[in-house]
Structure 1
Amino acid sequence: MAQPVPGRRPTDRHPLLATALRLATHGVPVLPLRGKRPLANCPACADSVCGDRPNMKQAGPCACPRPCHGWAAASTDTAVIASPPWLTAWRQADAVAWHPAGAGMTVVDLDSPDAVAWARTTLPPTRTVPTTRGEHWIYRGTMPSVCAVRPGVDIKSTAAYTRWRGPGAGTTLPLPDAIRALASKEETTPAPRGAGGLFTRARWDRTVATGCRHTERYVRTGLDRGLAKIRTHRESGAGSQAYGVARFLAGLHSSCPGPCGLDAIGHEIVTAAVSVGVPEAYAHRAVTRGLALPGAS
């Protein structure tokens, strides 16, 4: 049986923990991430039976020693982060996530070259971090998190987490009004006819599209291809992809007399996005906005 190495620290065995502790000492709330998602809640916290954590939208009394409840568990307490329950989570993790608003920041997640090009011509330059598909632009200040404010652009701040990809480069500027304006515009986008804020039908078929001018095979093929594309974005960008798929499909139905069953289409898109880690509320907002084309039904 192997004996402990004298003087060996937990961070020697868990490099992610070392990164997390370093961030915490600088006031950045952190949590372990596996793939794109935080680790699952423990049995005592499943389905919110614990009452949830005090800093969640529905504030509750949960004081679970494990990193349950995703972003709401993010901590700057080094004793908590290096505690035995969290060490178990670090062994299962493959990345460190952080809660931007907890650090007083907002992250503009640019998930494509086009989105990066838009930011460079529209937003004031700030601290920038490269990602696998684009860049994170970090601003000082907090705001509500909003998914898919425009193609390839998500805003992550309150009630959200994002993967730590390094400190980046540049000077962190105050959050510009242009970003707040994007979020305000998204929140006032009306839902299309036949697609409410909550999508109730599990699967689209011809029975809910009695006024659609397209064949069932045509719609089903396009929808299935869109869902498959969303599911390939396991690391980042699934929310923006869901917006793009919803917008494309709404465009196909913009000249139909309706109904075309967009609520059922929306449900399937939201389900695909949630399956790869997009928070459900964000997915609903992105898909509702994507379906909101004039004439879509």
Structure 2
Amino acid sequence: MTQPIPIRRVALALAAAGVPVLPLRHGKLPFGNCRACKNSACGDRPNMKNPGPCRCPAPCHAWAAATTDPHVITSPAWAPVWREAVAVAYHPGGAGLTVVDLDDTAAVAWARETLPATRTVPTTRGEHWIYLGVMPSSNAVRPGVDIKSDMQYARWLGPGTGRMADLPAAVRALAVKEDTTPAPGEVASSLPTRAPWGRSVATGCRHTERYVRTGLEHGLALVRARTESGAGSQAFGVARFLAAQHTGCPGPCGLAVIGEEIVTAAVSVGVPETYARRAVANGLETAVERAA
């Protein structure tokens, strides 16, 4: 039995499970467009970002060609492609999934420390972490980490192990792009002065005021040190870390006030207020999710 037949069988099995599939050639790449579709002359497929009139029967247009239709997968137009295919890919967004592609051991270590456990699939150099839910795809969200979901494909490397978790806020936050940091002397917004965190807003906190203030000041210093880039991501990390310290408290602990101080620090180094608030809110939420 030749190699292309098992590959097509894998594709048919995935399609039967509701996972849109497409063939990959050498280099883990989709097959190029046919002559009629070359250079988007056909208008592209209707489910692409710029929909057009294309109804090409061939597997053109990369991820947009992914299908669950067995008649298409076994059609004469796809047959010669399967004979050359070396792997099967799938469209995660079309299956209601998001793949966090961890490209090396450092990225895997970061994920194990930061993200909720979910189904994992070993890759050549790292792992795929698969979550239930769809989001925009984004490459290089941090060193060695890509997000593959909507309008992108991922290589099928097996079912993996572990129970699939819901897509967490921590992953969604990775794909949020910070706006360009303003030039020195400019600020993204001007926030009103607010009272700092204190015991008056944390009547149910089990920590001493000195303990909380010391950790908070250290975190704020980390955010303010990111004067060139990354302050928003740092704000997310600080919010997540500080909130995690209070998961065992009866509450209230004044986390909203802590969050406001982190937002203010991020804005002071040029992070747009909207992004800063979203990053901090996601950080606080992620700590609660991990404690649940």
Deviation at 1:100, TM superposition (A): 0.2
1:1-297 matches, cutoff 5 A = 14-34=5-25, 35-184=27-176, 187-190=177-180
- Distance in structure 1 (CA, Å) of the matches to 2:133 and 2:52: 26
Q: State which structure, 1 or 2, has the greater radius of gyration over its C-alpha atoms.
A: 2
Deviation at 1:12, TM superposition (A): 8.7
AA matched with 1:89: V
- Distance in structure 2 (CA, Å) of the matches to 1:29 and 1:48: 22
For the Cα contact (< 8 Å) 2:4–2:85, is it kept in 1?
Answer: no
SS of 2:166's partner is coil
- Distance in structure 1 (CA, Å) of the matches to 2:182 and 2:67: 40
- Distance in structure 1 (CA, Å) of the matches to 2:130 and 2:29: 21
What's the RMSD between the two structures over aligned residues? 2.0
Aligned length: 184
Deviation at 1:191, TM superposition (A): 7.8
- Distance in structure 1 (CA, Å) of the matches to 2:68 and 2:22: 9
Unaligned 5+ residue runs, structure 1?
A: 1-7, 194-253, 255-293
AA matched with 1:31: L
For the Cα contact (< 8 Å) 2:98–2:134, is it kept in 1?
Answer: yes
- Distance in structure 2 (CA, Å) of the matches to 1:173 and 1:138: 8
The one-character-per-residue Cα deviations of 1:180-227 (angstroms, maximum 9, x if unpaired) are 11111xx2242899xxxxxxxxxxxxxxxxxxxxxxxxxxxxxxxxxx
- Distance in structure 2 (CA, Å) of the matches to 1:143 and 1:181: 10
- Distance in structure 1 (CA, Å) of the matches to 2:50 and 2:153: 17
Q: Which portions of structure 1, spanning 4 or more consecutive aligned residues, are displaced by more than 4 angstroms? A: none
AA matched with 1:86: W
2:267 matched residue in structure 1 = none
SS of 2:125's partner is coil
- Range that drifts further, 12-21 or 62-71: 12-21
